[in-house]
Amino acid sequence: MSELLKVAMPKGRINRPAIKLLQDAGFSVPDDLEESRKLVITAPEAQMEFIMAKPVDVATYVEYGVADIGIVGKDVLLEENRDVYELLDLNIGRCRMSVIGLPDWRPVTNPRVATKYPNVASQFFREKGQQVEVIKLNGSIELAPLIGLADRIVDMVETGRTLKENGLVELESMFGITSRLIANRVSYRMKNSRIQEVCDRLQEIISE
> Binding of ligand PRP at residue 114 (CB under 6 A)?
no
> Binding of ligand PRP at residue 111 (CB under 6 A)?
no
Answer left, alpha or beta for residue 192, where phi above 0 means left and psi between -120 and 50 means alpha.
alpha
In angstroms, what is the minimal distance from the CB of 52 to ligand PRP?
A: 16
Cβ atoms of 150 and 112 within 8 Å: the answer is yes
Cβ atoms of 83 and 185 within 8 Å: the answer is yes
Which positions from 139 through 158 interact with ligand PRP, judged by CB under 6 A? 139-142, 155-158
Per-residue binding string, ligand PRP, 20-59, x by CB under 6 A, is ----------------------------------------
> Binding of ligand PRP at residue 161 (CB under 6 A)?
yes
Work out the burial of residue 48: count CB atoms within 10 Å of its CB; fewer than 13 is exposed, 13-18 middle, 19 or more buried: buried
Name which of 14 and 43 has its Cβ closer to ligand PRP: 14
Name which of 31 and 158 has its Cβ closer to ligand PRP: 158
Q: Which helix (H) or strand (E) holds 80?
A: helix 74-80
State how far the Cα of 39 lies from the Cα of 17, in Å rounded to an integer: 18
The stretch near ligand PRP (CB under 6 A) out of 39-47, 62-70, 82-90, 133-141 is 133-141
Q: Which of 79, 72, 67, 65 is nearest to 18 (CA)?
A: 72
> Binding of ligand PRP at residue 160 (CB under 6 A)?
yes
- Binding residues vs ligand PRP (CB under 6 A): 139-142, 155-162
